[in-house]
Amino acid sequence: MVLNKKNFDAVIVVEGKDDTIRLKQFFPGIETVETNGSAVSDAVLKQIKKLSQTRQIIVFTDPDFNGERIRRIVTNAVPNAKQAFITRKEGEPHKKGSLGVEHASKEALERALKDLHEVDPKKSDLTKEAYHELGLAGGSGSRKLREQVGIKLSVGYGNSKQFYNRLHTFGVSLNELKQAVEEAENGK
């Protein structure tokens, strides 16, 4: 997959300049907007909203608390923004530093930018009871299972409440979730 300005018309919302540098290293024509931290200024939000009138917006933040906070802020401002995720493992630094998009491999970045998610809460038939019955909350192995299912569904990781809400937000059906849990438990 080759991403460049000619065939990739979206604008990627990232946290900082290191993320932009990493993306441009592999996809030279890609355009980004940097939030410059978790506060996300009104000026940056205004810029993203304006861009969303003519361009697709993709939120691609770090797989950590601040990245999730930025993702929520931007998605609230631009509800039709698509979402790209890397796993925590893919965002681990090779030496020193914090978790982030800037550490991801080309393959991880390509996968994340191909497998985009849209907000579609109307589509999900998932209930809290079913979520608990599948072992995604309240059990000793729930955290690890959520992490594996998040990888299978390419929706990232979250604590029990965040993960349930994310599944709903992206319209993941009960059947899709059951299949992902089964694959995770069987090591597929």
Domain around 152: 121-185
pTM for this prediction: 0.81
Regarding whether 125 and 94 lie in a shared domain, the answer is: no
Separation CA 29–CA 8 (nearest Å)? 8
pLDDT in tens, 40-93: 999 999 999 999 999 999 999 998 889 989 998 999 999 999 999 998 889 888
Regarding whether 129 and 61 lie in a shared domain, the answer is: no
Integer CA distances (angstroms), 75 to 23, 68, 94, 187, in order: 21, 10, 30, 33
Regarding whether 106 and 17 lie in a shared domain, the answer is: yes
Tell me if 146 is assigned to some domain.
yes
pLDDT in tens, 4-32: 444 467 999 999 999 999 999 999 889 99
| Cβ-contact 21, 102 below 8 angstroms | yes
Tell me if 108 is assigned to some domain.
yes
DSSP state of 37: S
